[in-house]
Amino acid sequence: MLEALRNASKSWVMKIILGALALTFVLFFGTDFGGGGGHGGGGGSPNSVLEVGEQNFTVHQIGREFNQEVQQVSQRTGQRLDTQTAINIGLLDRTIARLASQSLFDQAAQNFGVAASTSAAADAIRSLPQFQDAAGRFSRAQFEATLQHQGLSEADFVNQVQLDLLRSQYIGTIQNAITAPVILRDAIHGRRAERRIADIVTIPAGAISSAPDPDEAQLGAFYQEYRDSFETPEFRSATVASLDAETLAKSIVIPSEDIEDAYQSRINDFQVPETRDVMQASLLSREDAERALALIRAGKSLAEAAEEVSGLPLVDMGTVGRGDIALSELADAAFALSLGQISDPVESSLGWHLIEVSNITPGRTIPFTEARDGIREELAREESIDRIFDVLNDVEDGLAAGSTIDAVARDSNMTTLRLDGIARNGQLEGSAADSEPALPTELVSRLFEMQKTDATEVIESQAGGFSILRLDRIDAPRIPELSEVHNIAVDAWKDDQLRSIADDTAGKIAERAKTGESLEALASEFGGRFERSPAFDRTGEGATVPLDLINPLFEAAEGDVISLPVAAGAAVGKLIGIEAADPNDPQREELARAISGQIANDLVTQLSDALQDDIPVDIDREALESAFTGQ
């Protein structure tokens, strides 16, 4: 949990400061990293496998970061990666590169004299949503409980945030100094923003004919040809027991005296300030203000007097507290008035004013009876954060001692769910294609990583809870007999026939269109749908053109005719016009910023290479390979 929290912290800090966290993920591989094995005399810890200048990383530290990389990729892809696959696709290299690059920049920034204060780090931490309560306020109890559970001191965490801040200052100077060359920006923009117009005829499958049911010989031959496409996915059955802090909080009883003590100690939080409905007339001079005030005393309203003297309408400041009024002179005047009273002329940096108060809502102290439920819920949430760590420890101890998932779930009041046949996409066997996944992606990924039935794993969630996952059964993928999928196969055969007819029809239309016949007339003759598309670009966003046609139309010359199968059947397109990119398009500047970021990223990579001349980087590859592959 803390690793996700720490990464969220770093991501947030860097995003707020520069929006350039990606610049720290510089890949070193392909450059010289010491000897590629052993430690190049750096004098580091004997347990270290990565040495960056004066900083050493152990297998445990790298493994923790590597596991997080694997989890993030698994969540994005929906498929849990095993260790060897993750190494093969470069996730271990990326983890080492990230840690090495961050350490390089941290040390270089400190050597360069860059500093980040403890107070700046504290401000950043207080703004992290992970440490805020339901009201959006920093919760020290939540902060301390999280660090305690993960075995980190507050000083360690603050130090990490300080490093993030100074690193962002150090590499941010590069990004801020880079401007994309105009000729490069214009060349890329010219290609991206070019737009094209086409005449399109679509032939939806089944629109011009119907397909009869196949006979047994036709269906059998079709099934044999495409039998692999009827393969069922791997299904797994599992038992899941879960507990989250919000659910636990509902079962926690807070003594009445604790609630009252909390109310008394935070009594200032329950003060509701006085508010007033305020109208303001703005005038150019004291003389104008005096004239308007005389008209009011003669019987005119504030609005009438202001209109006559200045011609300006009143400003309705709405219902405001004293602190809501930016100018202290106006605030003091507004909150000194009685109901319905109009102030004497008030001078501010914006001119002269007359103020009227039309409604006053007195301030009050929210009584204990009204605040009690909210305080109880807040105290229960805080206590649940402490308790859930204890419950998690008890669960892990119970499982380690041989207790079953059912026993520890019962003893810990966890919610138990049994799933019979769940696929990698999280859907249960037999569910509709658009049904909601039965489990969160992370749990499904972990389930499909497990290799032995009856294996049990405890997974913490970023929301502050945890789940126990047990693999009960594995049903391997299989190709069913035709009799099992007879109706599905019949529908697939019919669909194939209709698509073939639509494709043949589109080919005939294209051949005649190439001789000069109108696509609109041909669409009417063959039962297709004709349209002249609005201008579209290479991305196809917002286009009415079938997406399969977009690339071919951008490769075509004006007047060319193309025909091809599309998702709904088949289509014919004729390129009618080409619109060059608009040189005044504001997207050019957005593109320039993106190119500048890429150039800055390249420069940061070069900087990391140069820094290795002063700050050596050495990897013990042999120890890493042995640790992560067991070989």
Query: 3-class SS at 214?
Result: coil
Residue 561 identity (one-letter amino acid):
V
Residues 377-401 have a mean pLDDT of 88
* Out of 151-155, 353-357, 377-381, least confident range: 151-155
Separation CA 585–CA 592 (nearest Å): 12
User: Residue 179 gets which letter from DSSP?
Assistant: -
Q: Across all residues in the chain, what is the average pLDDT?
A: 82
pLDDT at residue 433, rounded to an integer: 67
Q: What confidence tens digit (pLDDT) does each residue in 427-469 have?
A: 888 777 677 888 888 899 899 999 899 989 998 887 678 999 9
Confidence of residue 222 (pLDDT cuts 50, 70, 90): very high
Place of tokens 């929006």: 19
Q: Phi/psi of residue 40, each to 5°?
A: -75, 50
Cα separation, 68 vs 95, in Å, equals 9
**Rounded to whole angstroms, how far apart are CA atoms 413 and 435?**
29
- CA pair distance 568, 544, nearest whole angstrom: 13
**Is the pLDDT confidence value at 38 over 60?**
no
Buried b (16+ CB within 10 A) or exposed e, 270-291: beeeebbbbbbbbbeeeebbbb
Instruction: Tell me how long the chain is.
Output: 631
Is 319 a residue whose pLDDT tops 80? Answer: yes
CA distance 71 to 450: 14
Query: Region 212-226: what's the mean pLDDT?
Result: 92
In the prediction, which pLDDT does 384 show?
Answer: 86
CATH T-level fold of 2-179+596-629: Triger factor/SurA peptide-binding fold (1.10.4030)
**Most confident option among 175-179, 467-471, 623-627:** 467-471
Is the pLDDT reported for residue 503 higher than 80? yes
**Could you give the CA distance from residue 442 to residue 396 in angstroms, rounded to a whole number?**
19
Residues 355-366 have a mean pLDDT of 92
Q: Is the pLDDT of residue 130 over 80?
A: no
Express each pLDDT in 135-148 by its tens digit.
Answer: 777 777 777 777 77
Can you tell me which residue has the tokens 């923003």? 193
Q: Say what the pLDDT of residue 151 is.
A: 64
pLDDT at 14 over 50: no
Dihedral sign for Cα atoms in the order 470, 471, 473, 475: positive
Over 90: is that where the pLDDT of 582 sits? no
| Residue 338: per-residue pLDDT | 92
Average pLDDT rounded to a whole number, residues 348-358: 87
Examine the pLDDT at 514 and tell me if it is beyond 90. yes
Which residue type, as a one-letter code, is found at position 353? Answer: H
Between the CA of residue 135 and those of 5, 139, 141, 378, 464, what are the distances in Å? 20, 10, 14, 9, 17
The yes-or-no verdict on residue 9 having pLDDT over 50 is no
Quickly state the pLDDT bin for 630 (edges 50, 70, 90). Answer: low
Q: Tell me which of 177 and 91 has the higher pLDDT.
A: 91
Report d(CA 84, CA 539) in Å as an integer: 36
Distance, in Å, from the CA atom of 106 to the CA atom of 14, rounded to the nearest integer, reads 14
| Structure confidence at residue 336 (pLDDT) | 92
* CATH number for the domain whose boundaries are 274-362: 3.10.50.40
What are the structural domain ranges in the chain?
Answer: 2-179+596-629, 194-231+484-579, 235-254+376-475, 274-362
Q: Are 580 and 190 in contact (CB under 8 A)?
A: yes
Helix (H, G, I), strand (E, B) or coil at 246: helix
Domains 235-254+376-475 and 274-362 share a fold: yes
What letter does residue 29 receive in the DSSP assignment?
B
Which is more confident, 285 or 154?
285
* Sequence letter at residue 396: E
Nearest to 2 by CA among 144, 142, 147, 140: 147
The listed CATH number (3.10.50, 1.20.120, 3.30.70, 3.30.420) that belongs to domain 235-254+376-475: 3.10.50
**C-alpha of 627 from chain center:** 32
Residue with tokens 């603050």: 158
